[in-house]
Amino acid sequence: MGKHTSVSAVAVVDLHDLLLELNVVSAQQLRAAGIYREQLIDQRANAAPLQEQRASETLLLVLWQLADRHGVQPQLGLMIGQHYNPSAHGVLASWLQHCSTAGEALANFQRNIALMNPSELWTLTEGKNTITLTVAFAPDRAYPQIAVERSLSALLRWTEAMTGSSVAPINCALMRPQPKQIEPFAQVFGHHLRFNAGRNSLQLPRSFLDSPIAGASGYLRQMLQVRALETLQRVEQGNSLSRTVSQLIRQSLPNNLSLDHICAQLHLSRQTLYRHLKQEGTSYTELVNQVRQELAQILIDQGLTKERVSEQLGFKDASTFYRAWRRWSRTELTARTAKINPHDRAD
């Protein structure tokens, strides 16, 4: 897959729930794909708020590919984009809600899109009386056309929700072939539609940029901007393969933890995974041990028995977990002892 990125976890959860609600995919199909809702959210006591949590982009891709494969309606992307759920807003969407104008929100959206999905790219071209917005995904990502159409549709829906008034597109260009039923597309994008285009874009009145956002708070905008930029910095520092693998290991426990499962999620061979992790100074085995050790202490602190912890961490039996626990305890004790200044030790 090339680079290994994370996306907004709340966006993944929202798409997961919406696909089930629309009967596009079944719970059985999601489980068969290795996607479990309870594993999409980090519920540890010290976890970041859901709005700031990250998930592997692979999970988002799998959801879109399932939707594209099982969805029988060409307008599925439009339907998903028109679904507006304020409770599913991440830190970036929350910040945009308190910008002064649609233009300010759009500029912040473009600059900080990595908070939602680093693989999504928006460009804006300004004319005398119009603006043209073009959206595309990174070419090495297998996003279907419905994901692009969802983004265009969502832009219009979010704008309407934030400004209190809808904006009528002047025209819309889509890369998809012309569907048999054009009306669902015309209802969202207007009747000036062009299919089989070379790009996916919307042309809007330039006055759209000056639309004020209803209920915007300068105080909340400043606070959310700080949180958003802090989160973005962590995202940019954390987009490594080892971090992504660690996330997938957590999500795969206890039943799907296997090297083949992780490789399938990343679309990498074992040899390629080994090589990249070695370049980052770690290994798959080390990452599994790190995740298990971290989660073991949390689960024990929550009052679970060691037998139950063993099950939750995917050990084949309790005795194997006991040996690992003793090894971790010795390693931690050694590390603590090494930090003690020799002059401070008791004779």
Q: Which amino acid type is present at position 44?
A: R
Q: Is 21 exposed, middle or buried (0-12, 13-18, 19+ CB in 10 A)?
A: exposed
Strand order in the sheet with 193-194: 120-126, 130-137, 200-205, 171-173, 193-194
Contacts of residue 252, defined as CB under 8 A and 6 or more positions apart, other chains included, come to: 34, 39, 258, 261, 262, 314
- Picking from 162, 165, 160, 156, the residue whose alpha carbon sits closest to that of residue 189 is 156
Beta carbons of 109 and 96 less than 8 angstroms apart: yes
The answer to whether the pTM exceeds 0.85 is: no
- Where does the pLDDT of residue 344 fall: very low under 50, low under 70, confident under 90, or very high at 90 and above? very low
Question: For 55, phi and psi rounded to 5 degrees?
Answer: -135, 160
Three-class SS state of 56: strand
pLDDT surpassing 90 at residue 170 = yes
pLDDT at 267 over 60: yes
Cβ proximity of 178 and 75 under 8 Å: no
Q: Check whether the bond before 74 is cis (ω within 30° of 0).
A: no
Q: What is the phi/psi pair of residue 114, to 5°?
A: -60, -25
The string of pLDDT tens digits covering residues 308-342 is: 888 888 888 888 888 888 888 776 555 444 444 44
Q: What pLDDT was estimated at residue 340?
A: 43
pLDDT in tens, 101-156: 999 999 999 989 989 998 898 988 888 899 999 999 887 778 999 999 999 999 99
Q: Based on the number of CB atoms within 10 Å of its own CB, is 16 exposed (0-12), middle (13-18) or buried (19 or more)?
A: buried
